[in-house]
Structure 1
Amino acid sequence: MRISIASDHAGFEQKQALAAYLQGEGHEVADRGPENDDRVDYPDFAQLVAQDVADGAADYGVLVCGTGIGMAIAANKVHGIRAVNVVTPQFAELSREHNNANVVTVSGRFVPLEENEAIIDTFLSTPFGGGRHAGRVEKIMALEEN
């Protein structure tokens, strides 16, 4: 899979580790920054990853900040993005199965690296359930048109 990944300064260390982990799992990873842990504004990096996914340059996006919350809010402003802030593998599974999420945001400060690896593995390996969920996702996406 093609994965676009980025962070802010608070998530930089885990972003680096997660990018290497994903490459080791055989994924094509586009690291959209930052290049160090100097203070940056997370919306700038959320937009880069979200746009990669929206444009089809990446299959999925991964964003890391202190909590993951700000990244999710920012990424969801990009048309076509369904970003979810996830703290457990079960939430990752349900976000894909029920909501067809295409960007996952994780906490670099409050969730250990190994748990974030499990969250991302689950996110990437869970298919969208379709069925009754498809109509709901269509309704969510229709909100962007208003």
Structure 2
Amino acid sequence: MPALISAGIPFCFCVSLWSGSRRSNRKPALGTLKKRINQLIFNNMANLINLGSELLRICPTNSNKIEGSTNDGRSWSTRYSGSSNGAFYDLTSYGNEVIAITSKGVYGSINGGRSWSSRYTGSSCGDFQSISANGSELLATTSKGLYVSKNGGRSWSKRN
């Protein structure tokens, strides 16, 4: 019987022939599938956002790094490297800010990802998984559902 795979936000479910199903809390919207013997693997690609004159991404080989490009992605330089904010999962542009979902919560940058400040580290929303800007709101998928912030990620309420 062939292995099955289904990818969707906020989870990527993988079923292998030998090990049952697995769930990843990493954002699966961008990525590639790789096949190992008797197993399918989902490989995340870097999240990429356009800040106008530059591109910003989570480093594809180290999720504790943010990289920037000023030449349409032909080369990348490290903007931020550190583990104090946790591993970066997702980025979105929000006005003149960049908002990040990390393993430790929600963080914001006002200087193109060179430094980050904590916005929300509470646990009542569950584990944050992905984020997007929708006008003046931020929408985030978490392990407990869809949440909305109207103040740049500083507080969150469940969206029904």
Question: TM-score if structure 1 supplies the norm length?
Answer: 0.26
Larger Rg: 2
- More strand, by proportion: 2
Question: TM-score if structure 2 supplies the norm length?
Answer: 0.25
- More helix, by proportion: 1
